[in-house]
């Protein structure tokens, strides 16, 4: 596999994928570069949404496609925002700032601050690939009481990591590339690619 298309327009995700796939010599294209519109994400699970996105982009491009669906799951909120993480505060427009404000409001008075980021990656070699390659990763932490840090994206300024004494937004790119949910899922995927299982 010499080329693949990333089924995302999220610049933060794209930078992470390009950095992590570069050592394999795979040329990474984006759906925006190819003029492909975003897929619908109507499903209630991360894996179904990722599969829908990968199949959509592969069908439109004729190339292998890699899709990610990820979000933050908060124990005190019954796993919310979950698959709605990017649209938690609404879709018009999507906004990390508004999402973080809504999460802080929802967590007022919550004693249980546990949360985890979840990521599922789905790679299809073609749109009707009967054996998509699936890789998952989780990153455990807790929801802080205020935003800290300017790195990362999404809920990173609120996602506190007790082992580091920092939020995800305060980690360096190198630190994040070792421990994040996406990094863990991508490592599983890369292992499968290296072993010829993908």
∠12-143-148 over CA atoms, to 5°? 60
Of 103 and 10, the one with more pLDDT: 103
Residue 153's Cβ-side half-sphere holds a number of Cα atoms within 13 Å equal to 14
Confidence of residue 88 (pLDDT cuts 50, 70, 90): very high
pLDDT of the residue at 58: 97
Question: Residue 128: is its pLDDT beyond 60?
Answer: yes
- Catalytic annotation present for 69: yes
What secondary structure letter does DSSP report for 26? P
Question: Residue 186: is its pLDDT beyond 80?
Answer: yes
Average pLDDT over residues 112-137: 97
pLDDT of the residue at 139: 97
Tell me the longest C-alpha to C-alpha distance in the chain: 51
Question: Residue 197: is its pLDDT beyond 80?
Answer: no
Torsion sign over Cα 56, 60, 21, 19: negative
34-84 pLDDT, tens per residue? Answer: 899 988 888 899 999 999 999 999 999 999 999 999 999 999 999 999 999
Q: Which helix (H) or strand (E) holds 55?
A: helix 46-61
Average pLDDT over residues 83-95: 89
Distance CA 154, CA 173 (A): 15
Distance CA 132, CA 166 (A): 36
Mean pLDDT of the chain: 91
Confidence of residue 28 (pLDDT cuts 50, 70, 90): confident
Q: What percent of the chain has pLDDT over 70?
A: 98
- Among the options 69, 96, 112, 197, which is catalytic? 69
136-178 pLDDT, tens per residue? Answer: 999 999 999 999 999 888 999 999 999 999 999 999 988 888 8
pLDDT of the residue at 198: 54
CATH architecture of the domain with range 3-194: Alpha-Beta Complex (3.90)
∠86-110-94 over CA atoms, to 5°? 15
Q: What is the 3-state secondary structure (H, E, C) of the chain?
A: CCEEEECCCCHHHHHHHHHHHHHHCCEEEECCCCCCCCCCCCCCCHHHHHHHHHHHHHHHHCCCEEEEEEEEEEHHHCCCEHHHHHHCCCCCCCCHHHHHHHHHHHCCCCCCCEEEEEEEEEEECCCCCCCCEEEEEEEEEEECCCCCCCCCCCCCCCEEECCCCEEHHHCCHHHHHHHCHHHHHHHHHHHHHHCCCC
Question: Residue 11: is its pLDDT beyond 80?
Answer: no
Distance CA 163, CA 137 (A): 18
């Amino acid at each position: 596999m010499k080329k693949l298309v990333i089924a995302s327009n999220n610049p933060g995700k794209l930078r992470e994928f390009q950095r992590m796939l570069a050592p394999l010599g795979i040329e990474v294209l984006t759906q925006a570069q190819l003029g492909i519109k975003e897929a619908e994400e109507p499903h209630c699970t991360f894996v179904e949404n990722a599969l829908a996105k990968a199949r959509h982009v592969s069908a439109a491009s004729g190339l292998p496609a890699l899709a990610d669906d990820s979000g933050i799951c908060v124990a005190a909120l019954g796993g919310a925002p979950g698959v709605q993480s990017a649209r938690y505060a609404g879709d018009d427009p999507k906004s990390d700032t508004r999402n973080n404000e809504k999460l802080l409001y929802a967590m007022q008075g919550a004693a249980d601050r546990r949360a985890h980021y979840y990521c599922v990656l789905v790679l299809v070699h073609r749109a009707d690939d009967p054996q998509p390659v699936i890789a998952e990763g989780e990153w455990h932490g807790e929801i802080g009481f205020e935003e800290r840090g300017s790195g990362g994206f999404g809920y990173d300024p609120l996602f506190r990591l007790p082992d580091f004494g920092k939020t995800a937004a305060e980690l360096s790119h190198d630190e994040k590339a070792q421990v994040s949910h996406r990094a863990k899922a991508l490592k599983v995927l890369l292992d499968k690619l290296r072993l010829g299982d993908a």
